[in-house]
């Protein structure tokens, strides 16, 4: 059983004799989609298998492998006939032949000791610790698939690549025939911004991305009950760029940020309707990209309390300086903002020298955060040092802080 729309990556992963197949690659090369297709095929072909897809956490899975799984499932009638049920809450596909395909995340190595499986897919493996991987791999009978963007070397490079029975496939957007020309152009355009990012995200080569701008952010589970809303930030996008909307709160001198919108194709009327659907009241302050006065005026006429961010020659650097003074807590569900923060870096020139401006990409949620900083946090007092700079016990968070996860 082969899907109709299969890329070269599907064939490479499907017809392999190796125990471990590593899919290193640039962004949007089709890694996750192809491996998920392979898992569906394997699930249909044999009885009573257990197939586990693991991600850093559930929001990451929902934005990655699970999203691809749903789009494959709903777009493939032949597959739907073989699936007995899909439990959205538990994220388990159960097949008529008794096989299950489950999507899970594990808090630690102990947690990962539970259960055995036939096939394992480690989605965005640089967000998973080696301990957790090892426990899962030990309990996997047949094959292990791994995918990631190689922004820096990690345990896959240290312990797996080059070993017997391990296949390495390096892919990039040129291997994905299902991607729009605009998306391909956008990825290639990284070349003009930052060669190191281009190597990683457009060519899938292992990088050593340095110069990350924010290392003062942490994952939190939710916005604390007593936190006070500072304002919301809005960045306009449409065809190629996402419209981004974040809510910024303050409590105990720390910022708490929650992503609300991250979509292309939204008109101003759509944005307004989506915010209302999200239960966001029209009384809150919204700070938006001042380069779009017409959109700001349109939203104002739709009833929103919206203003343009302050302009100024140094506004980008100023707002970064302001944000760096805070401990920034980002909700776990803010997957796209977490991604952007993990990639946001200073530009480098061709010789590798760091420039005094950020790479102008993957900033559709960071920009609105900056707008809020410019208009609402300018006079903020400095936070006490040390309170949050101490090492944290949580391994996953520590791992992320090392800039290892995208």
Ligand X SMILES: Nc1ncnc2c1ncn2[C@@H]1O[C@H](COP(=O)(O)OP(=O)(O)OP(=O)(O)O)[C@@H](O)[C@H]1O
Tokens 């257990």 — which residue?
50
Residues 6+ apart with CB under 8 A from 148: 23, 24, 25, 124, 125, 126, 154, 156, 406
Q: Which does 329 bind (CB under 5 to 8 A by kind): ligand X, Mg ion, none?
A: none
Span near Mg ion by CB under 5 A; candidates 26-34, 150-158, 244-252, 328-336: 26-34
Determine the angle formed by the axes of helices 293-301 and 268-277, rounding to 10 degrees.
50
CB nearer ligand X, residue 200 or residue 247: 200
Q: What does each C-alpha distance from 186 to 31, 182, 213, 308 come to in angstroms?
A: 18, 6, 22, 26
Count the residues in the chain.
406
In the complex, residue closest to Mg ion by CB:
32
CA pair distance 122, 128, nearest whole angstrom: 8
Contact pick of 32, 56, 151, 268 for Mg ion (by CB under 5 A): 32
Asked whether the beta carbons of 215 and 389 are under 8 A apart, the reply is no
Q: Which does 179 bind (CB under 5 to 8 A by kind): Mg ion, ligand X, none?
A: ligand X
Asked whether the beta carbons of 209 and 152 are under 8 A apart, the reply is yes
CB nearer Mg ion, residue 32 or residue 363: 32
Q: Which does 6 bind (CB under 5 to 8 A by kind): ligand X, Mg ion, none?
A: ligand X
CB nearer ligand X, residue 121 or residue 371: 121
Asked whether position 29 contacts Mg ion by CB under 5 A, the answer is no
Span near Mg ion by CB under 5 A; candidates 24-32, 108-116, 291-299, 362-370: 24-32
Asked whether the beta carbons of 307 and 369 are under 8 A apart, the reply is no
Asked whether the beta carbons of 312 and 318 are under 8 A apart, the reply is yes
CA pair distance 303, 17, nearest whole angstrom: 61
Q: Which does 392 bind (CB under 5 to 8 A by kind): ligand X, Mg ion, none?
A: none
Q: How far is the CB of 77 from ligand X (least distance, A)?
A: 15
Q: How far is the CB of 178 from Mg ion (least distance, A)?
A: 13
C-alpha count within 13 angstroms, C-beta hemisphere, residue 27: 19
CB nearer ligand X, residue 74 or residue 178: 178
CB nearer ligand X, residue 233 or residue 403: 403
Using CB under 6 A, list all residues that contact ligand X.
Answer: 5-7, 25, 27-33, 68, 149, 176, 178-179
Q: Which does 104 bind (CB under 5 to 8 A by kind): ligand X, Mg ion, none?
A: none
Q: Is 244 exposed, middle or buried (0-12, 13-18, 19+ CB in 10 A)?
A: buried
CB nearer ligand X, residue 369 or residue 406: 406
Asked whether position 176 contacts Mg ion by CB under 5 A, the answer is no
Asked whether position 7 contacts Mg ion by CB under 5 A, the answer is no
State both tokens at 66. 């699970």
Span near Mg ion by CB under 5 A; candidates 18-26, 32-40, 251-259, 362-370: 32-40
* Footprint of Mg ion (CB under 5 A): 32
């Amino acid at each position: 059983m082969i899907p109709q729309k299969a890329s070269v990556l599907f064939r490479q992963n499907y017809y392999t004799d190796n125990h471990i197949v590593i899919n290193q690659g640039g962004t949007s090369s089709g890694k996750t989609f192809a491996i998920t297709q392979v898992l569906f095929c394997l699930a249909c072909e044999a009885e009573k298998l257990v197939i586990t897809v693991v991600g850093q956490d559930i929001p990451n899975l929902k934005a990655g492998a699970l999203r691809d799984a749903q789009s494959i499932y709903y777009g493939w009638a032949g597959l739907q006939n073989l699936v007995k049920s899909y439990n959205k809450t538990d994220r388990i596909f159960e097949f008529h032949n008794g096989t299950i395909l489950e999507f899970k995340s594990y808090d630690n190595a102990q947690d990962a000791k539970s259960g055995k499986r036939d096939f394992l897919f480690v989605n965005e493996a640089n967000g998973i610790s080696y301990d957790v991987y090892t426990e899962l791999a030990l309990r996997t009978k047949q094959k292990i698939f791994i995918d990631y963007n190689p922004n820096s070397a990690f345990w896959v490079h240290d312990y797996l690549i080059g070993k017997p029975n391990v296949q390495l496939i390096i892919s990039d957007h040129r291997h994905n025939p299902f991607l729009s020309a605009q998306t391909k152009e956008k990825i290639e355009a990284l070349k003009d911004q930052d060669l190191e990012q281009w190597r990683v995200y457009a060519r899938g080569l292992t990088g050593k991305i340095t110069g990350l701008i924010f290392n003062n952010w942490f994952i939190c589970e939710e916005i604390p009950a007593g936190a006070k809303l500072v304002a919301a930030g809005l960045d306009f996008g449409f065809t190629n760029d996402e419209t981004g909307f974040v809510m910024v709160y303050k409590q105990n001198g720390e910022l708490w940020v929650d992503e609300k919108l991250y979509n292309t194709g939204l008109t101003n009327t759509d944005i307004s309707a989506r915010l209302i659907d999200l239960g966001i009241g029209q009384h809150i302050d919204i700070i938006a990209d001042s380069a779009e006065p017409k959109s700001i005026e349109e939203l104002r006429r739709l009833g929103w309390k919206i203003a343009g961010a302050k302009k100024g020659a140094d506004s980008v650097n100023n707002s970064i300086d302001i944000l760096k003074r805070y401990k920034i807590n980002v909700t776990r569900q803010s997957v796209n903002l977490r991604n952007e923060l993990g990639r946001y870096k200073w530009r480098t020139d061709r010789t590798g020298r760091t420039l005094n401006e950020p790479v102008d990409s993957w900033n559709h949620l960071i920009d609105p955060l900056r707008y809020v900083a410019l208009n609402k946090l300018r006079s903020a007092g400095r936070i006490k040092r040390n309170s949050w700079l101490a090492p944290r016990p949580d391994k996953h968070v520590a791992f992320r802080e090392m800039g290892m996860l995208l």
